[in-house]
Structure 1
Amino acid sequence: MCVHDHNALPAPDSALARRSVLAGAAALAGLGVLGVPSASAAVPALAAPAAGAAAASAPSGRPSAPGYPGSAPETRPLVIEGGTLVDPVTGDATADAVVVLDGGRVVAAGDRDATRKAVAGVAGRADVVDAAGRFVVPGLVDAHVHANALEDARLILHNGATTVRSGSSSFYQDIALAALPEWAPGLSPRMHPAGLFVSPELGDSVLADPELAPLAALTDGVREEKALAHLTGVNRKRGATVIKTRANPRAGLPEQDPLELVYGEEQLAAIVRAAKGAGVLCHSYSAEGIAGAVRAGVRSIEHGVFVDGATLADMAARGTYFTPTLAGIASMQGSADPVLAERGREYAPVLREAVRAAADAGVGVVAGTDSFGTDVTPIGTEARALADAGLPALEALRSVTTRPAALLGVEREVGRLVKGAVADVVLLDSDPLASAAALEQVSAVIAQGRVVRNDG
């Protein structure tokens, strides 16, 4: 629900130059110079490129960094055996299944007969994870997070989200995090970065890049179409693969009115044009703001409490997705601030009904936690909240796998454990086809081919 101030982090060093933006972001994220963990580190790994990663790739397919003589680490093959493999596409479950990972990809997944050749191919080289008694699902996707440091990324990853879409960062930290998986497998989820929030008030984020200096002189903030296009273009130039903007203020700040219109349809359309194909996610609450954002061509509506039936029909026709961040909105009910507590009591039931109406209208509902910093909500908690609002268990599973993968354009690699998919796997203690609550019961996470957590 964006209760946080996106621009609250300290400003970077004043000597930050244009070509050192990404390095500065990495420093702000808590990454030391070439701070790659050893193979025995507690948080392990990836081999396939993350979307939006800044590193170039060598002809061999291995990443390279100009001027850096080292090479990216390789991960050992991994065999996950004995669990029940769940396919979010078909809803099928395969008992006593095997998943073989090698080179950052799924080599085989299925019953023992179907995977026998693949297992033999990694014999003597592979590590083995015993998944007996557990349920094997693809790595989960959180479609709305705010990760500004390595610890944020670690917590998100350990809760099962191996792919995430950023809802913006303060100083391009998400862009730096997107580059890490190739070099430090398992240190960060696969990040689809947004860069800076396209919002009227940039605050200290104007210091993230020298090219943003002209925006500091705007007395009314970033509102004119040419300023919006400039900020969006700088984000894209720095490596943002999605763009985050807003139609309304934040619901989680009592002094703000979340139904006030910040950007109208024409302004949002200017952002969509300047994004040049990068999906735009739009923070919006009011019926007017949501409708304008959808007509402007945004890729997804975030929060969307007061979306109406006509706009849901328009979203379904256009293929616009809905990220309700339901658990975050509902959590306001427990706020010590009376304004926020009342807002939570009012908004939560309305949003639950909006989720049901969106699903009935054929709108793609995706799970996003709106986690900020180390205040991380497990992605499974949001999936359970969506199920509590009326989504069947299989649809809740799809909200954290296949559906956000399609939103991000990575459905051939993410959201399903089939040959060629990325080597991201989550083990659950109970059956997600029986209850979405199972998605909160994460006991192991394999990210980018490396085990980062295994409680079993």
Structure 2
Amino acid sequence: MCVENTPPPSSRLTRRGILAGAAALAGTTAALSAVAPRTAAAAERSGARAGSTGRATTGDLVVEGGTLLDPATGEVTEDAVVVIVDGVVRAAGARSRTQIPSGVEKLDARGRWILPGLVDAHIHLNTAAEARDAVRQGATSARSGSTNFYQDIAVRELARQVPQLAPQLKAAGVFVTPDLGDTILADPDLTPLAKLKDGVRSAEALRRVVEVNLARGADVVKTRVNERAGLPEQDPLAQVYSREQLSEIVSAARRGGKGVLCHSYSEKGCHDAVMAGVRSVEHGAFIGEQTLQEMKRRGTYFTPTLAAMAGMVDSPDPVLAERGRTFLAAAKERALAAHRLGVPLASGTDSSGGKIKPIGREVELMREAGLPALDAIRTATTGAAKLIGLDGKAGRLAPGYAGDVVLVDGDPLADVKVLKSPTAVVRSGVAI
């Protein structure tokens, strides 16, 4: 059975609809009440611009006295200054060579290291509280791994209006998966798919979900080739979509100018996803050498989500605990193999369900896998920023980049663990 031959859904995305979605996010009222006074005070102190409509809350701030690390070059600058004006970096470098504007709030970074805000390339943000927690743990930019009811699109708008409440986000909308479950109710244009006995598998059905996502404003498309690892009753090596089906998804996304991230574990699944043209392989615990070689040739990214697998190790369910141990060891080995081959890597926590993991934990696991410290840091800065389309805007502290900063106690090149617990976070020029 196919989906009815109905026209694509409207691409009209109204401000009212987006803001209504943001307001409907679970936990929004509590999150706003908890941080609004602090954000407003910080904005007032820093000379922030806070328009009642349209313009985001941004700030002017000078971060001074710390040791600045540029992940792009590896350059380390002591007694550094970062000048942020209207939420954007205007200057960054040694104090002796940087003009510091007068009358601007200063953040004392002496004794600390200064890094750009980190990038979580795979996260599920379903509530405003989760979005706020991600920022507080250093993830000032992120890419969604999908949500059930387009919450990520609302989070993206929340970040545009009040950056201190959410990461700069690339939204994926709803998951393109055989069984949509209650997600069928996320949009009236998805409800015709309920007629399908075999789920979302036909070319028409696959295109339909992609079209609805793009019409609702998704920046990327998320799909899968294997079942889930986090559910003991599922076999994460079982394949749910063929290469041909994945190609339909990729083609539909490309017609809208978007890329695809694909949940994959098995070697065949990963290979089919890469050959179908996905932008990034997610998880990839058992990805093979041939597939990695093809990824290098195509520039396909690998997002291993090691923190998600590590999280299963302590599960009270023996199936999940054993799966976590096996998958984590395999994924670490594959991440190192990918790095040695020159496959681009990105860090992603795969956080969801109210438990937001610090992106620094993923960097720590990349380091444990064998990546040099600077390269592990790049997976959550320059590398991840390029993957999610924020190259030139995130991942560095240089003129024109977002005024997003993390301060840490200690040298991350000596011990990347310090990235798990930032001592301060600046989002769009406002310390939070």
Fold similarity call, TM over 0.5: yes
1:78 alignment partner, one of 53, 61, 73: 61
Q: Say if 2:82 is the partner of 1:99.
A: yes
CA displacement, residues 404-441 of structure 1 (integer Å, 9 cap, x when unaligned)? 11112221111111111111111111111222222123
- Change in Cα spacing, 1:183 to 1:345, as seen in structure 2 (3 Å) is closer
1:169 matched residue in structure 2: 147
2:244 matched residue in structure 1: 266
Map 1:120-269; keep pairs closer than 5 Å: 120=101, 123-124=102-103, 126-269=104-247
Does the aligned pair in 1 maintain the 2:50–2:57 contact within 8 Å? Answer: no
* 3-state secondary structure, aligned to 2:383: helix
Q: Percent identity?
A: 50
CA displacement, residues 24-58 of structure 1 (integer Å, 9 cap, x when unaligned)? 532331346xx69646348978xxxxxxxxxxxxx
Does the aligned pair in 2 maintain the 1:242–1:280 contact within 8 Å? Answer: yes
* Structure 2: 5+ residue stretches without partners: 1-11, 44-48
* 3-state secondary structure, aligned to 2:58: coil
- Change in Cα spacing, 1:42 to 1:306, as seen in structure 2 (3 Å) is farther
Shift of the alpha carbon at 1:353?
0.9
Does the aligned pair in 2 maintain the 1:252–1:332 contact within 8 Å? Answer: yes
Q: Say if 2:378 is the partner of 1:380.
A: no
Q: Say if 2:360 is the partner of 1:360.
A: no
Map 1:255-294; keep pairs closer than 5 Å: 255-276=233-254, 277-294=257-274
RMSD of aligned Cα (Å):
2.3
Q: Distance in 2 between matches of 1:73 and 1:271?
A: 34
Which residue identity does 1:40 align to in structure 2? R
Does the aligned pair in 2 maintain the 1:272–1:280 contact within 8 Å? Answer: yes
2:382 alignment partner, one of 402, 411, 418: 402
2:92 alignment partner, one of 82, 100, 109: 109
Which residue identity does 2:89 align to in structure 1? V
* 3-state secondary structure, aligned to 2:250: helix
Q: Distance in 2 between matches of 1:18 and 1:423?
A: 28
CA displacement, residues 153-178 of structure 1 (integer Å, 9 cap, x when unaligned)? 01111000000100001111100111
Q: Distance in 1 between matches of 2:198 and 2:262?
A: 21
1:8 matched residue in structure 2: none
* 3-state secondary structure, aligned to 2:272: helix
2:297 matched residue in structure 1: 317
Number of aligned residue pairs: 411
Q: Distance in 1 between matches of 2:13 and 2:392?
A: 35
- Change in Cα spacing, 1:41 to 1:351, as seen in structure 2 (3 Å) is same
- Change in Cα spacing, 1:254 to 1:76, as seen in structure 2 (3 Å) is closer
Does the aligned pair in 2 maintain the 1:135–1:430 contact within 8 Å? Answer: yes
Does the aligned pair in 1 maintain the 2:25–2:151 contact within 8 Å? Answer: yes
- Change in Cα spacing, 1:428 to 1:202, as seen in structure 2 (3 Å) is same
Q: Say if 2:284 is the partner of 1:304.
A: yes
1:351 matched residue in structure 2: 331
- Change in Cα spacing, 1:70 to 1:409, as seen in structure 2 (3 Å) is closer
Shift of the alpha carbon at 1:18?
8.9
**TM-score relative to the length of structure 2:** 0.90
2:310 matched residue in structure 1: 330
Shift of the alpha carbon at 1:72?
2.9
Does the aligned pair in 2 maintain the 1:149–1:373 contact within 8 Å? Answer: no
CA displacement, residues 67-115 of structure 1 (integer Å, 9 cap, x when unaligned)? xx74535533100000001010111110000000011210100011321
1:40 matched residue in structure 2: 38
- Change in Cα spacing, 1:101 to 1:268, as seen in structure 2 (3 Å) is same
* 3-state secondary structure, aligned to 1:241: coil
> Higher helix share goes to which structure?
2
Shift of the alpha carbon at 1:339?
1.1
Does the aligned pair in 1 maintain the 2:50–2:58 contact within 8 Å? Answer: no
Does the aligned pair in 1 maintain the 2:56–2:161 contact within 8 Å? Answer: yes
Which residue identity does 2:38 align to in structure 1? S
- Change in Cα spacing, 1:206 to 1:44, as seen in structure 2 (3 Å) is farther
- Change in Cα spacing, 1:74 to 1:147, as seen in structure 2 (3 Å) is closer
* 3-state secondary structure, aligned to 2:121: strand
CA displacement, residues 215-239 of structure 1 (integer Å, 9 cap, x when unaligned)? 1111111111111111011101111
Which residue identity does 1:93 align to in structure 2? V
Q: Distance in 2 between matches of 1:429 and 1:26?
A: 34
Q: Say if 2:7 is the partner of 1:26.
A: no
- Change in Cα spacing, 1:84 to 1:397, as seen in structure 2 (3 Å) is same
- Change in Cα spacing, 1:353 to 1:271, as seen in structure 2 (3 Å) is same
- Change in Cα spacing, 1:234 to 1:371, as seen in structure 2 (3 Å) is same
* Structure 1: 5+ residue stretches without partners: 1-16, 46-61
Q: Distance in 2 between matches of 1:76 and 1:197?
A: 35
Q: Distance in 2 between matches of 1:339 and 1:38?
A: 43
* 3-state secondary structure, aligned to 1:40: helix
Does the aligned pair in 2 maintain the 1:144–1:370 contact within 8 Å? Answer: yes
Q: Distance in 2 between matches of 1:179 and 1:71?
A: 10
- Change in Cα spacing, 1:346 to 1:73, as seen in structure 2 (3 Å) is closer
Does the aligned pair in 2 maintain the 1:25–1:171 contact within 8 Å? Answer: no
Moved >6 Å (runs of 4+): 17-20, 42-45
